[in-house]
Amino acid sequence: MGGKLSLIASELSPRMGSDVKISKADLVGGAHAKEIRALLDQRGVLLFRGIAPEDRELRAIARTLGDLRIGGVKRGADGKVLNEGEEGVLKVSLDEKVNPDYARFLIGNHLWHMDGTYEEIPPLATLFTPFKLSKTGGDTMFANTYAAFEDLPGEEKAAFEKLNVVHMMQAGLFPAKRNCTVEEFAVWASYPPRSYPLVWHHRSGRKSLVLSTSAAYVEDMHPAESHDLLQRLIAHATQDKYVYRHKWQMGDLVMWDNTGAMHRVLPFDRESGREFHRCTLNGEEPITAAA
Ligand code: SIN
C-alpha cells in the first residue's frame, strides 16, 4: 500500500483491527474513503465508535467505499431470490419476524466463515452496526487469513497453492444446526457447490487462505486427509495471535474485509432480540490462484 495515511487510527490487536477516529460527517461525506479502503485492506477490521448511523447514513458510507449490494443474490433449487434487505440494509437477526427470508440462514454465523462462498465473486466487505444488543454474549470475532497464510512454512505454502476446495452451504450450516429438518437440509443442499483455490492471489499481490466452515473437502484428496487438513487450517488461522474479538457498544460501526478474514458471532441469548443492520459491498475480484 503506497501513500501516507492521514487518518488517526490505533491497533485493536497486533495483527487485526484498527480503531479509527473520524467524524460521522466525514464518514458519510467520504472525506477519507480512499484511506479507509487502504486501511481496511491492511488491518482487516475497522472500528468507528459513537457513529450510530441511521440506515440512510449506513448506505451513504457504504457507497463512498464501494458497490453497495442491493437486492438478493442467492438462488436455491426453488429459484427464489432472497431479499437482502431494504435498499441494501439487511437486518441481521435470528427472529423470523424481523427478517423472514434470512433468519433461518444466520444460525451459521456462529461458526467461523467468510460471507458468500456460494458466489462466483464473494463480497468485498461488510459494514455492521448494532440496533439492539444482547445483555449476554454476542461478541464478534475476526481472524486474519492473510497473516495465517504468511506464517505457514514455505513448503506448505507451495503445496497449498496447488489445492482447490469445494464449498457447500450445507457444510457451513449443518454443524450449526444439527437438529435441522430434512427439508431445511434439502434447501441448503440445493445451493450449488463452488470450488475455489485454497490460496487467493489477490490483485494487490498479497495472498490469503480461503477458509470457512463451508469448506467441505479438498479436491483430489482422500476424504480423511482433506478433513484433517481443513480442520488444522481453521485451527491455525483462528489462533489468538490472528484474532480480534469485538465487544459491541451501541453506536459502533464496524467494517470488515471479507476477502482476507473470517468472522463469527459468539453465542448470545436468542430471546434478547439482538439485531444489527448490515450493508454489503459487492466483490471486486474473483478468487484466483497463482497464474
Ligand atoms: C455475521 O456473521 O455476518 C454476523 C456476525 C454477528 O452477528 O456478530
> Tens of pLDDT along 108-154?
899 999 999 988 999 999 999 999 999 999 999 999 999 999 999 99
* Ligand 1 atom closest to 274 (CA): 7
Q: SS3 for 202?
A: coil
C-beta separation of 129 from 276 below 8 A? yes
How far apart CA 207 and CA 260 sit, in angstroms, is: 8
How many whole angstroms from 255 Cα to the centroid of ligand 1? 11
Residue of 125, 93, 95 lying closest to 257 (CA atoms): 125
pLDDT digits (tens, 9 = 90+) for 16-32: 999 999 999 999 999 99
What pLDDT shows up at residue 290? 81
What pLDDT shows up at residue 131? 97
Phi, psi of 21 (to 5 degrees): -100, 115
92 lines ligand 1 (CB under 6 A): yes
212 lines ligand 1 (CB under 6 A): no
What pLDDT shows up at residue 283? 97
Other CB atoms within 10 A of residue 8 CB: 10
Other CB atoms within 10 A of residue 132 CB: 12
Q: Best of 47, 106, 114, 246 to mutate for ligand 1, by most ligand atoms within 8 A of CB?
A: 106
pLDDT digits (tens, 9 = 90+) for 200-211: 999 999 999 999
How far apart CA 135 and CA 102 sit, in angstroms, is: 23
238 lines ligand 1 (CB under 6 A): no
The domain in which residue 153 lies consists of 1-291
Predicted TM-score of the model (pTM) = 0.93
How many whole angstroms from 103 Cα to the centroid of ligand 1? 12
How far apart CA 88 and CA 72 sit, in angstroms, is: 9
Contacts of 100 (CB under 8 A, 6+ apart): none
Spans of the chain, pLDDT less than 70: 1-5, 72-86
What pLDDT shows up at residue 291? 76
User: Residue whose CA is closest, atom 1 of ligand 1?
Assistant: 109
Residues constituting the chain: 291
Residue of 22, 287, 270, 264 lying closest to 143 (CA atoms): 264
129 lines ligand 1 (CB under 6 A): no
What pLDDT shows up at residue 3? 45
C-beta separation of 157 from 148 below 8 A? no
140 lines ligand 1 (CB under 6 A): yes
Phi, psi of 245 (to 5 degrees): -110, 120
**How many domains, in total, are found in the chain?**
1
| Lookup: cell for 139 | 461478541
User: Residue whose CA is closest, atom 2 of ligand 1?
Assistant: 109
What pLDDT shows up at residue 6? 79
CATH of the domain at 232: 3.60.130.10
What pLDDT shows up at residue 101? 75
| Lookup: cell for 67 | 458497490
Q: SS3 for 242?
A: helix
CA distances, 199 to each of 220, 224, 289 (Å): 16, 21, 6
What pLDDT shows up at residue 87? 83
Chain centroid to Cα 189, Å, comes to: 21
